[in-house]
Structure 1
Amino acid sequence: MAAMKKVLLAVAVATFAAFSGQRFLKLKEIMLASRQIPVKHLSCHYLQNIEYGAEDITILKDGLAFMSTGLKFPGLHSFSDEPGKMYVLDLLHPRPTPVELQISGELDLTSFNPHGISAYTDEADDSVYVFVVNHPHHNSQVEIFRYVEEDTLVHLKTITHPLLHSVNDIVAVGVESFYATNDRYFHSDALLLVAVFLDLTWCDVVFYSPHEVRMVADGLRSPNGINLSPDKRYIYVSDIMDHDIDVFERQEGEQLRYIKSVAVGSLCDNIEVDHKTGDVWLGCHPNAMKLSSYDPEDPPGSEVLRIKNIHSEKPVVSLEYADDGHVLMGSSVAAPYEGKLLIGSVFHKALYCLLK
């Protein structure tokens, strides 16, 4: 009996070791830990005033760009302990320069930690509403602001809900309604590693309105960026650990119907959509291992991808910008506007580039 127990224990240990080894290799594959990319630069310069990242950027049809800066996120590097800030940039100005937005209203700015953002223009009166994912004290909530004058955000509302437990990004579809991605199922970092290790697909997309809050898409590994097609019929979601962009069709009642996935071969963060062409632009992490284990001697690189004709049978994925981290570290968003491109990062700087 004792000999049998030893044999069973040895078999169990060997099985666990084999499983762990296989999962470790799978994790390295997900993180693209061995990936190297060619350098491909554009005509770019650093944006003034942006020193601690511009994790997300969104641009209105009139060329007004909003930026969230200074994100503090578990497991990722930060160059500053100061609270986050919001900036605005006029791309129609001869020399576009980010201007810090003043925030009025009842919001604790000492713990302001902005992440994904979205802007919505009310067609009734052209009022602009800015939605911001906020992580004060590592919590998860959404702030709604109204943009007024040239440099002010008036805080209107803070939204919290059990279903909005780990929001990464949002896309506004009304003055108080939006879709949001939850990028993790578990709250603790330890269980997050377990979820990745076991390859669990338990994350989701949630729809919020003042009248209802519900899950509208699930079965995702780690949904990150989210955005809307120009005709508002489709929702695009970056499943960052799957290395693809998921396409959903909006249904009656705001439910989402899965259409397809487009492989991109990188860990793509936020999604922006060209207002005129419908091209999908992605700020991506070519090697997430370098991003999570920040080493200034071997910095995380940056990658910008574009998807043309995403709804066709053969979407075209092209590399538009790539850097080894010596110019821009950890690109997280790429926002186009009429021949110009803004590239933001998680914790580094931001670039203003010319596409033509």
Structure 2
Amino acid sequence: MLKRIIIILILVIGFFFLQLFIRAGQFKTIVNKPAGEVVAVYRNLPGPEDMQADYVLHKMFIAAANRRPANTNAKPDGIYVLDLTSMTPPHRLETTYAKDLHPHGLSLWREDTLLYLYVVNHIEEGDFVEKFLYTGNDTLQHLASYSSPLMCCLNDVAATGPSSFYATNDHGSRAGLSRKMEDYLNIGRASVVYFDGSQYHKVARHLNYANGIYYDRKHDKLYVATTTGKALLSFTIEAD
């Protein structure tokens, strides 16, 4: 009887871990089918995580951070810029931000001649959304830092105006057992938070690892990618 119970437990645990590996994509095959020609490959920046182009300036802004502690030869973390006209290797922009900058998600917002950058920043004090103004002389002027208990585990940000944005939390807990349970049991506690310029609102809940987020300015729609949820969600923005 005991032997049978042990065998059943082993099978249950094995099935659990098999499902975990399947959700994580361990058995998935990805075939690269490039639709165009590779023009250039750049390796002079650490861990590119997110990027967005401004086609007025013809520049690509790239959030890059070294997430491999053993890689001591990596270039400094920061926002890098690639000139889409000259295609010369990207270089890191200087900032007036006084603290460390370890970028994750990034979003641009153009308001006439002004170009704002919103950047998810992970530092010891917690997770922040940093707001910068691109001055055009290879410098980012720091304008504001945004934080809230609702933004515990930031992943990406989508600007919706010069002083508003949506942001994804990829977990519901910053650390500890509850965070591990989210991962291992596939518990949906990720969320989307909206900052309207003065207040924070949790506008979507119970998501499975909310990752990338994008605001379609033309059609007033919001798109959210959920990694372990294996879905691309579409939301119509409403006035309230």
Q: Does 1:179 align with 2:154?
A: no
User: 2: CA distance between counterparts of 1:228 and 1:39?
Assistant: 27
Measure how far apart 1:114 and its partner are.
0.6
Is contact 2:44–2:75 with CA below 8 Å preserved after alignment? no
Structure 1, residues 47-75: CA drift from partner, whole Å, max 9, x if none?
2632x221110112322211111243xxx
Counterpart selection for 2:108 from 115, 119, 122: 119
Match of residue 267 from structure 1: none
Q: Which residue of 2 aligns with 1:134?
A: 121
Partner residue in 2 for 1:309? none
Structure 1 residues 189 and 201: alpha-carbon distance in aligned structure 2, compared to 1, 3 A threshold: same
8 Å CA contact 1:57, 1:117 repeated in 2:
yes
In the TM superposition, what whole-angstrom CA distance separates every residue of 1:230-255 from its partner, at most 9, and x where no partner exists?
414110101011222111111112xx
| CA distance in structure 2 between the aligned counterparts of 1:77 and 1:227, rounded to whole angstroms | 30
| One-letter identity of the residue aligned with 1:196 | D
- Which runs of 5 or more structure 1 residues have no equivalent in the other structure? 1-5, 254-356
1:27/1:82 Cα in 2 relative to 1: closer, same or farther (>3 Å)? same
Provide the residue aligned with 1:94 in structure 2: 86
- AA aligned opposite 2:26: A
Q: Which amino acid in structure 2 is aligned with residue 27 of structure 1? A: L
Contact 1:116 / 1:169 at 8 angstroms: preserved in 2? yes
* Larger deviation, residues 80-89 vs 228-237: 80-89
Task: Return the alpha-carbon distance in structure 1 between the equivalents of residues 130 and 13 of structure 2.
Answer: 41
Deviation at 1:218, TM superposition (A): 1.1
| Aligned-partner Cα distance in 2 for 1:53–1:196 | 23
Q: In 2, distance between residues paired with 1:138 and 1:19?
A: 40
Match of 1:69 in 2: 64
Query: Percent identity between the aligned chains?
Result: 26
User: Which amino acid in structure 2 is aligned with residue 116 of structure 1?
Assistant: G
> Aligned residues, how many?
236
Q: Cα gap change, 1:29/1:77 in structure 2, threshold over 3 Å: closer, same or farther?
A: farther
Amino acid at match of 2:126: N
Whether contact under 8 Å (1:163, 1:215) holds in the other structure is yes
Q: Secondary structure at the match of 1:67?
A: strand
Letter in structure 2 aligned against 1:215: K
Deviation at 1:14, TM superposition (A): 6.5
Cα deviation code 1:252-271 (max 9, x no counterpart): 12xxxxxxxxxxxxxxxxxx
Quick one: distance in 2 between partners of 1:49 and 1:225?
24
Tell me, in whole angstroms, the C-alpha distance in 2 between the residues paired with 1:245 and 1:77.
31
Is the CA contact (8 Å cut-off) linking 2:192 and 2:210 kept in structure 1? yes
Pair 17,251 (structure 1): closer, same or farther in 2 beyond 3 Å: farther
2:22 corresponds to: 29
Is 1:237–2:224 an aligned residue pair? yes
Could you tell me the TM-score, scaled by structure 2's length?
A: 0.87
Superposition map of 1:161-172 within 5 A:
161-172=148-159
What amino acid is aligned across from residue 64 of structure 2 in structure 1?
T
Alpha carbons 1:86, 1:100 under 8 Å: kept = yes
Secondary structure at the counterpart of residue 135 of structure 1: strand
Counterpart contact for 1:99–1:151, Cα < 8 Å = no
Q: Which residue of 2 aligns with 1:226?
A: 213
SS in 1 for 2:124: helix
Q: Which amino acid aligns with 2:111?
A: D
Shift of 1:190: 4.5
Partner of 1:159: 146
Task: Tell me the residue number matched to 1:103.
Answer: 95
Matches within 5 A, 1:289-304: none
Per the alignment, in what secondary structure is the counterpart of residue 28 of structure 1?
helix
Distance in 2 between the 1:143 and 1:189 partners?
Answer: 26
Matched residue SS, 1:165: coil
Question: Alignment partner of 1:207: what SS?
Answer: strand
Q: Cα 1:15–1:39, aligned 2, differ >3 Å: closer, same or farther?
A: same
Computed over aligned residues only, the root mean square deviation of the Cα atoms, in angstroms, reads 2.5
Q: Distance in 1 between matches of 2:44 and 2:186?
A: 40
Equivalent AA in structure 1 for residue 60 of structure 2: A
Secondary structure of the corresponding residue to residue 234 of structure 2: strand
